[in-house]
């Protein structure tokens, strides 16, 4: 099964952009790259997903490397409400397999 590697934690200043990296060197050609986040005391929440092209939505942007072995979630202006655990996930069979994720801390 394809695995992802993320830094354990990152810190950002409020109002500044945040780039959350993810490595997935064993990704297969049909695996979508998903990002979810989990705010304290809440369930995971969908952020964005993509296959090959860069993707944008109102929450974030997803930049996918040309070889698809890595991707970066971009929060354009971090706010205190973006402090959460961010999970980079690949499809495995019928399910999303979560890793430990990256704890994002946002400083005011």
Partner 1 sequence: GAGVSQSPRYKVTKRGQDVALRCDPISGHVSLYWYRQALGQGPEFLTYFNYEAQQDKSGLPNDRFSAERPEGSISTLTIQRTEQRDSAMYRCASSLEGTGKGFDEKLFFGSGTQLSVL
What minimum distance in Å lies between the beta carbon of 35 and partner 1? 11
Q: Is 51 in the site for partner 1 (CB under 8 A)?
A: yes
- Checking 94-102 for CB contacts under 8 A at 24+ apart, the result is 96/34, 96/36, 97/1, 98/36, 98/44, 99/3, 99/4, 99/5, 99/6, 100/6, 100/8, 101/6, 101/38, 102/6, 102/7, 102/8, 102/9, 102/10, 102/20
Q: Is 68 in the site for partner 1 (CB under 8 A)?
A: no
Q: Is 58 in the site for partner 1 (CB under 8 A)?
A: no
Q: Is 40 in the site for partner 1 (CB under 8 A)?
A: no
Which of the ranges 13-21, 46-54, 57-65, 66-74 carries the binding residues for partner 1, by CB under 8 A? 46-54
Residues that bind partner 1 (CB under 8 A): 30-32, 36, 42-46, 49, 51, 85, 87, 91, 93-101
């Amino acid at each position: 099964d394809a695995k992802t590697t993320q830094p354990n934690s990152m810190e950002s200043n409020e109002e500044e952009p945040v780039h959350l990296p993810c490595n997935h060197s064993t990704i297969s050609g049909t695996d979508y790259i998903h990002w979810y986040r989990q705010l304290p005391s809440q369930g995971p929440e969908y952020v964005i997903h993509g296959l090959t092209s860069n993707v944008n939505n109102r929450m974030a942007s997803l930049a996918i490397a040309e070889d698809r072995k890595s991707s970066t979630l971009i929060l354009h202006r971090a706010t205190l409400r973006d402090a959460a655990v961010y999970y980079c996930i690949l499809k495995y069979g019928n399910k999303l397999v979560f890793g430990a994720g990256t704890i994002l801390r946002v400083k005011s």
